[in-house]
Chain A
Amino acid sequence: MTEKKPKGNCRHRWTMSNVRNGYLVVEGCFHCRHRTSFFSEEPVPPQDDYREGDHFWSYLGSSQASKFDLKCEECSQEVPLKDVMALMLCMRCDSECGVYKAGSGEKGSKTWAYVALCANTSHASGRCVTKPGIKALNEYFNRGIQDPHKKIIVVSCESRKSVDTCQGIVLADVGLTEIY
């Protein structure tokens, strides 16, 4: 039996846990133009329109996706990532965007910014991906990189300037029907 380290002073070695496969479903409100997304584990993703308070949510699309949490192999600490809907690579389209700035690392470094997307682009509830979640994602994706100058930075989607003009690449299975 391996001895688990105490959580307080552990240099975490994260591994993916609780991996679930399903669909990332995106909906839009024609009223306020915001978008919301959710993860569905149903065999066929729901496509119904519905009203929620002032919002009129309509189905915009879906793609196969997976969700996961992170668990430390050393101390067994778990970081749930239920608020992360998808990850997105920043394509550096707008120098005024917070994600662009986060990805502008030191000279000579190859910094790549990825955005952890939460469910609601309006952030009206004041919630986004949690700080412990972002910290764990950064630690996880920077482990074992071969190039010492390469760095992955994961930021929450609160930093993004505009969902409408953003040209980031969402890591979801959008091209599965285009193989052949």
Chain B
Amino acid sequence: MRMSELVKQGVFKTFNEPGDKEIKGVYISDMVSDIIGIGPGNLLVTLQTHKNLIAAANLVDVAAVVFSRGKTPTDDVVALANKAGIGLLGFDGDTWTLAKKLYELGVR
């Protein structure tokens, strides 16, 4: 699935231009030290909204970042994500509900 198809479903808030990268998988983590070990193209689901997360997400070339539990990134975080071409999405429910929703929408 591509990012444009996911965003079209209308389930997520968008904090910036989500782009149209291919989603090759999903990874759920709140630890930067863990994220740097994932492969490219993952949709990263996290609670963390700080700049370190964007720095790590860019390094491993994520498809996009989804913040669960209504977390909102600050303007400087959005600005860094924009520079890196990383789409930032938001979801009000908890991470488990988000994982189930992604599966229902066809993200594998």
Contact = CB atoms under 8 A, between A and B. Distances in A.
B9 interface: no
Nearest to A175: B50
Interface string A141-174: 1011111001010000000000000000111111
24 contacts: A19-B37, A21-B33, A64-B31, A65-B33, A66-B36, A87-B59, A110-B85, A112-B84, A144-B41, A145-B40, A145-B61, A146-B22, A147-B61, A147-B85, A150-B61, A150-B85, A171-B32, A171-B36, A171-B52, A171-B59, A172-B33, A173-B52, A178-B50, A179-B48
B59 A175 contact: no
Contacts of A21: 33
Main secondary structure of the interface of A (DSSP, over half): strand
Interface residues of B, number: 27
Q: Top 3 A-B pairs ranked by shortest CB distance? A: A89-B55, A66-B33, A144-B40
B28 interface: no
B58 interface: yes
A179 B94 CA distance: 13
Contacts of B37: 16, 19, 66, 68
A146 B33 contact: no
A177 to B, nearest CB: 11
A21 B34 CA distance: 9
Given A66-B34, A114-B59, 15 more contacts: A64-B31, A87-B36, A87-B59, A88-B55, A112-B58, A141-B59, A141-B60, A144-B40, A146-B40, A150-B61, A169-B55, A170-B52, A173-B31, A174-B50, A175-B50
Given A114-B59, A169-B51, A171-B55, A146 B34 contact: no
